[in-house]
Structure 1
Amino acid sequence: MKPADDLITLVRAYNPRTNEQLIRDAYDFGRDMHEGQYRKSGEPYFSHPIEVASILAQQHLDDATIVTALLHDTIEDTKASYQIVAEKFGTDIAELVNGVTKLTNLQLNSTETKQAENFRKLFMAMSRDLRVLLVKLADRLHNMRTIRSMRAEKQVQKARETMDIFAPLAGRMGMQWMREELEDLSFKVLNPEARNSIIRRFVMLQQETGDVIERITTDMRAELTRVGIGGTVTGRAKRPYSIWRKMEEKDQSFSRLSDIYGFRIITGSEDDCYRVLGAIHRRWRSVPGRFKDYISQPKSNGYRSIHTTVSGRDGKRVEVQIRTKEMHEVAEAGVAAHWSYRDGVPSENPFAVDPARWITTLSEQFQNEDDHEDFLEAVKLEMYSDKVFCFTPKGEVVKLPKGATPIDFAYAIHTRIGSACVGAKIDGMRVPLWTRVKNGQSIEIITAEGQEPQATWLDIATTGKAKTAIRRALREVDRERFIKLGWELARSAFEHIGKKATDKALETAAEKLRLDSRDTLLARLGSAELSASQVVLTLYPKLVPDDGEGVARDRAVIGLAPGQKFERAACCQPLPGERIVGITWKGRGVVVHAIDCPVLGDYEDQPERWLDLHWHAGKHAAVNPVTLAVTMGNDAGVLGRICTLIGEQKANISDLKFIDRKPDFYRILVDIELRDAEHLHNVTSALEAESDIAALSRHRNPSAARPPAPAPAEIGETVGLQTSR
């Protein structure tokens, strides 16, 4: 365990005016409070707060942040209280320590609704004082560095949480070095085989080519000397996770991946940055489309640098970053540069961003998100996205995530413009709305009165703001239609148990389901966001038929004539809880299709054969087969984990087929037997959380559509579609 003097020496190196006694008092208090506590590794627990403080000291942060790091677990894990910390160290430090405690208690890896609410709390805590998050990030970094002492399942949980939440947050704050280390430490836990494979290939590459970094660094230094520009040149191989991500994004093998080395040139002035850029481009061939000027267009977290990729020795691509010393300080510390000290006074870096303004800008993007799923999607999209910079016809800059489309651009300008969009021009040329915009393009949005958002835009848009606005508009457009349909579904479900769907009953159900009104309940019913069975069960759980397996299979569908038989269509495999229609077959019964089944187009000219059907509101037996298409990693134990996850959701696997085998991935079709749409949602949610599953979708096969089987008396045996009796 480091003595207090070591930490104070580290702080004094950048802040000679540090309050040494304050740090020493915090050290002694924290040590006494954690006396007798030990980490999983066997070390005294207080060694952890010291290391967290050291990480923050390396970022040249102020005394209050260093003291908070030393005390950050005292309120949560010891007999110390907020009042005691406030009495000894002041209310400002007590507030910081209490803020870190609240962040620690947030279960960020919980269910989506709770996770979204906790994200809101996270942003609220950040908005009060961003140093709370700085301490939490340093705390998570040290925990990840020492994660091997945890249980295996705990390692995986923490690594996923780090990869999903804390690493993107560090990157969003501009602390790229911390993001990269957090990602790589998580990668080491979540996919050690892939990481070790990349490291082995690096070793082999160095044996074959020698020290590429040293050779290219020497070449660049010589070029700077030749043109008379002062500056330092450093190079490094990119981290294993960064390389793995590039391999995944570009669908390339390691041998074909070119830009695995990065070089940084630190110059004396902004003018020198552009002179260096010219020298580099004259000496080596630049790679088209790989130039970004973050000096003229800084990122929102203050990041400034020129990025370019050139073909170096032997045609190898290398990335070069060019910046000044002040820009480099912000690039290393990000938003934290606001609290950095130099020679005992706060560092007056002209590029450091005001953290209050930064967090306000970030929070404003999410404050209108009422829906939990929309809010969570918006936060994650914003944290993960790399930016591109586009221009309006008037020359104003609009920042968008990589992969954005003109639809995202339109909504970024104003929701009204987005909703009225009918087309777009990029650099004067008319383009489809699904076009991916690029850095530096000028975009003009064409609007028209009376235009309304289209459902297909949801697949085109990439930003949370655009998706939320489109969904909200679509809900409003369809609201009246959904309310009418929801009323019919509710009326039918209530009549089935001998009750009436009165306004009072529906209002009570809405209140119990935490919806704001009866109309909202009906709209959710009509749009299939809520099932009639959920509403009935909410009010009359004892009246819903439950004969062991629940609703008898021959009574599962409402709307059939007495004695009329039905079968679920194999092409779309409709489930209870989904909207359905029936197609009659003379002398054969009814085939039940999902409302969006493409096969229904074959019967558009035969309206007399269509039946308006609904599922029974009760509990259905888990006998309805559904096929899932799964793309999974080709690793030991993955298939077993998939089967286990499905079994844990009380779903039975009836068949499994391998349809594509590749060195890295397998694609399989899994037939599972389910109760209803909610059961399907539970299964897919569990599978999507598995890191080794790369893609998951519901498999539908229009070619499987065929008329219902003849009765056994006619041909001697039953053939055709699966029958729900």
Structure 2
Amino acid sequence: MPTVHNLAERLDEYLSKEKVARIKRAYFYAEQAHEGQMRRSGERYITHPLAVANILSEMHMDHQSLMAAMLHDVLEDTAVSKEAIVEQFGEGVAELVDGVSKLTHLEFESKLEEQAENFQKMVLAMSKDIRVILVKLADRLHNMRTMGSMPPEKKRRKSRETLEIYAPIALRLGINDLRVELENLSFESMYPLRASRIRSAMRKQLGHRKEVVNHIEAALAERLKQEGINADVKGREKHLYSIYKKMREKRKSLKEILDVYAFRILTDSVDSCYRILGVVHNLYKPVPNRFKDYIAVPKTNGYQSLHTTLIGSNGVPIEIQIRTRDMEDMANHGIAAHWLYKTDETQSNQTHARARRWVKNLLEMQERAGDSMEFIENVKIDLFPDEIYVFTPKGQIMEMAKGATPVDFAYAVHTDVGNSCVGCLVNRKLAPLSQPLTSGDSIKIITAPGARPNPAWLNFVFTAKARSNIRHFLAHMERQEAIALGKKLLDSQLRNFDRDIDSLLPDAFETVLSESNLKDRESLFEEIGTGHKAVYIVARRLLQLSSSEEVITEQSSLTIQGTEGLLINYAKCCRPIPGDAIVGVMSKGKGMVVHVEHCRNISDIRDNTDRCVHLHWDKAMEGEFLVDIRVDLSNARGVLASVANAVSHAEANIESIQMQDMDATTSRLNITVSVTGRTHLGRVFKRLHSLPAVSKIERV
């Protein structure tokens, strides 16, 4: 059983005597606080904080992180307060401990919600100090190592949470050693049978593999020696979970995956890495399109290496990674190397800056998300797909998630660029905003003042940042539009009595607000605009409170301008177009739906002044509206083409067309056409009537 004295000996290698003494003091403080507490396995509770500190010492973390590791469960499981920790160990350690501590005093609807809330709190703490997540990861790793005594259901839940959130975070921060162990432990807990099968298959193949690995290793080392390059060659074992994931994702058998031999070559300088690449490509034939240069363009988490795949003697596939020894340490320790390599500030600072940028993105997502569950879903999307590398118009490289679209790129540049995006040029050619980007694309976003996100973007955007920004903007915009529509409806109703909103008594508004349990006028307008309150009733009550006369309200008429946005929708049953007599029906939560006055679907509520508003079109109304028409015609060769041609000559577009045979000589076309109004529709009818084959046309 490791003791605090064993830990102190290891820490003496890289920390001063005074700092080691402070860590020991934190240990004894925690030991006293946890006195009498036991783990489920029967061990004293203090063994857990000590083990977490040991994991962090292997990463060469600083003394404050190790002190926080010792104290990380003190706030949650004992009577010690945060103020007491501040007094004993200082503000920095107390903040770290608080960040790692879970939320325990809130009532949650479900375990999922509890995890989501915990993760939100952790993100906030991470934004102040990135070390919080490193202590949390070490804590999770030790819990995963000692899960033997837990009930199976809890094991599976913890393992799933680790695979979905904690292992990807370790990957994002570049801490590969820790990530691999977290993945393997989770995999074994979730699928013990699959894990044991894969492990026994690997053991069976080990004898045969060893011979081949030694042969290739010797050939590579010999060739590098001949070229005078100082480098170490070592065989690389694939770990359990990565084998399982490859089998599932690439639909490969275990034999196919184990037949690939993997090696890592470590050297002293970047220059030597590229020389080694030339040497191995001369020794064995490279596989086309399987070379990746992560030294020139590092991965998001700071990982750097050259990757290549070769075909060895007897057709054996060989995967090779070439990197410097510093890059190897960065790959294994990632952000933790920031504290390990104080000497190499440039490399560690780049990794640190990347991690900070990621945490900043998480915070932005958190502000935009509706609740903690939406936030954690967004984070899972972002944890962390393969990257592609694209160029801005000025030639800067940007890392994007694989599958990202130009809209994702626009939001990655800046939220305002995404919100005002109207089009894009990909490799100097116009491209759809939904087109997935590929590595090497050059993207220019076209923006327009007054443009705003389209709800349809949510169907294709890939990154969590774009998704949360679009949702946030639409929710905000919908509220503003509901307020504007509600105010307009109320004003229109009041104008029948030569009154307006400003002429009403303030006390009248206060009374209506208190009767409705609303906090301000904007909330009242929003309720009217979204159809939750009938404008007729609100107007009548306001007029009653503002004057002593009996109020007899008449139905007013409201002007539709076409720029009202999301809160005014056009009914699909009757497809109203400018020039039609129209009625607005208030629908709860959806705002106003515009119908043609004689539409059958509203016949029973047309006279209900609570729900229906008389409307008229603005004279300057612009835009295109869909209308359904039915055309009966005689069968003849090329008749469909002549109908399409006639509609086109009337400067209208066919959106959809369906043809059905009525009898041997007659067919019926159901066409959806986009027009600007009744006059334009009249021109379409005139063109169609001029065709000899057409016998009857009607608007549906």
Scaled by the length of structure 1, the TM-score of the pair is 0.63
Contact kept, 8 Å, 1:258 with 1:316, in 2: the verdict is no
Q: Taking structure 1 as reference, are residues 154 and 520 closer, same or farther at Cα in structure 2, changes over 3 Å only? A: farther
Query: Matches of 2:354 and 2:108 in 1, distance apart?
Result: 22
The amino acid of 1:144's aligned partner reads: M
Question: Once the 2 structures are TM-superposed, how far is the Cα of residue 154 of structure 1 from its aligned partner?
Answer: 1.8
- Counterpart CA distance in 2 for 1:178 and 1:67 is 20
Q: How many residues align?
A: 528
Please say which of residues 194-203 and 177-186 is displaced more in the overlay: 194-203
Cα distance per residue 1:194-231 (max 9 Å; x no partner): 33333344344446655554444333323322322111
2:169 matched residue in structure 1? 169
* Paired residue type of 1:161: E
1:140 positional shift: 0.8
Say which SS state the counterpart of residue 368 (structure 2) adopts.
coil
| Distance (whole Å) between structure 2 residues aligned to residue 71 and residue 394 of structure 1 | 49
Q: CA RMSD in A?
A: 4.3
The 1:426/1:517 distance shift into structure 2, 3 A limit, reads same
Secondary structure of the residue aligned to 2:331 is helix
Query: Counterparts in 2 of 1:272-287, with a 5 A limit?
Result: 272-287=272-287
Alpha-carbon separation, structure 2, partners of 1:364 and 1:516: 33
1:42 maps to which residue? 42
What residue number does 1:401 align with?
Answer: 401
> Structure 1 residues 507 and 336, CA, compared in 2 at 3 Å: closer, same or farther?
farther
Q: CA deviation at 1:184?
A: 1.9
Distance 2:176 2:234 in 1: 17
Equivalent position of 1:60 in the other structure: 60
1:517 match: 523
Aligned to 2:592: none
Q: Distance in 2 between matches of 1:186 and 1:613?
A: 60
Higher Cα Rg, which structure? 2
List aligned pairs for 1:324-723, cutoff 5 A. Answer: 324-340=324-340, 346-353=342-349, 357-358=353-354, 360-365=356-361, 366-367=363-364, 369-372=367-370, 375-419=375-419, 421=421, 423-428=423-428, 431-446=431-446, 452-475=452-475, 517-518=523-524, 610=601
Q: In structure 2, do the counterparts of structure 1 residues 303 and 119 end up closer, same or farther at CA, with 3 Å as the change threshold?
A: same
Question: 1:219 — aligned with what?
Answer: 219
Distance in 1, matches of 2:472 and 2:46, equals 50
Identity across matched positions, percent:
40
CA positional deviation for 1:456: 3.3
**Residues 333-363 of structure 1 deviation map (CA, whole Å, 9 limit, x = unaligned):** 211222226xxxx444431027874554234
The 1-side partners of 2:468 and 2:419 are apart by: 12
1:450-501 CA-partner distances (Å, limit 9, x unpaired): 76544432222101222233334555676688789999xxxxxxxxxxxxxx
- AA in 1 matched with 2:240: P
Unaligned runs of 5+ in 1: 488-501, 533-578, 584-594, 596-603, 615-725
- Bigger shift: residues 97-106 or 388-397: 97-106
Q: How far apart in 1 are the matches of 2:108 and 2:216?
A: 43
Aligned residue for 1:320?
320
Query: Paired residue for 1:307?
Result: 307
- 8 A Cα contact 1:127 1:359, kept in partner: no
8 Å CA contact retained: 2:420, 2:450: yes
Does structure 2 retain, via aligned residues, the 8 Å contact 1:292–1:307?
yes
Hey, what does 2:199 align to over in structure 1?
199
> Aligned partner of 2:347: which letter?
F
C-alpha spacing 1:354/1:79, structure 2 compared with 1 (3 Å): farther
User: Tell me, which stretches of 5 or more residues in structure 2 are unaligned?
Assistant: 488-508, 534-569, 575-586, 588-594, 606-700
1:264 alignment counterpart: 264
**TM-superposed deviation, 1:401:** 1.1
What per-residue deviation string (whole Å, max 9, x for no partner) do you get for residues 518-567 of structure 1? 565677x67xxxx99xxxxxxxxxxxxxxxxxxxxxxxxxxxxxxxxxxx
- What letter corresponds to residue 349 of structure 2 in structure 1? V
The equivalent of 2:632 in structure 1 is none
Contact 1:108-1:115 at 8 Å conserved across structures: no
Alpha-carbon distance, 1:255 to partner: 4.1
The C-alpha deviation readout for 1:560-601, integer Å capped at 9, x for no partner, is: xxxxxxxxxxxxxxxxxxx99999xxxxxxxxxxx9xxxxxx
Q: Secondary structure at the match of 1:372?
A: coil
- How far does residue 182 in structure 1 lie from its aligned partner after superposition? 1.1
Does structure 2 retain, via aligned residues, the 8 Å contact 1:127–1:356?
Answer: no
Matched residue type, 2:358: L
Go from structure 1 to structure 2 and tell me whether the alpha carbon gap of 1:120 and 1:199 turns closer, same or farther (over 3 Å shift). same
CA distance in 2, matches of 1:228, 1:314: 27
- Partners of 1:107 and 1:193 in 2: CA distance: 37
Return the alpha-carbon distance in structure 2 between the equivalents of residues 109 and 137 of structure 1. 26
Task: Give, in angstroms, the shift of residue 53 of structure 1.
Answer: 1.3
Whether contact under 8 Å (2:59, 2:333) holds in the other structure is yes
Rate the CA distance shift 1:218–1:473 in 2: closer, same or farther, 3 A: same
| Residue matched to 2:9 | 9
- Partners of 1:316 and 1:153 in 2: CA distance: 43
**Residue 105 of structure 1: how far off its partner (Å):** 7.9
Is residue 260–residue 316 contact of structure 2 (8 Å, CA) maintained in 1?
no
CA distance 1:77–1:112, shift in 2 (3 Å): closer
Matched residues in 2 for 1:293 and 1:266: separation? 15
Following TM superposition, by how much is the alpha carbon of 1:265 offset from its aligned partner in structure 2, in angstroms? 1.9
2:502 equivalent in structure 1: none
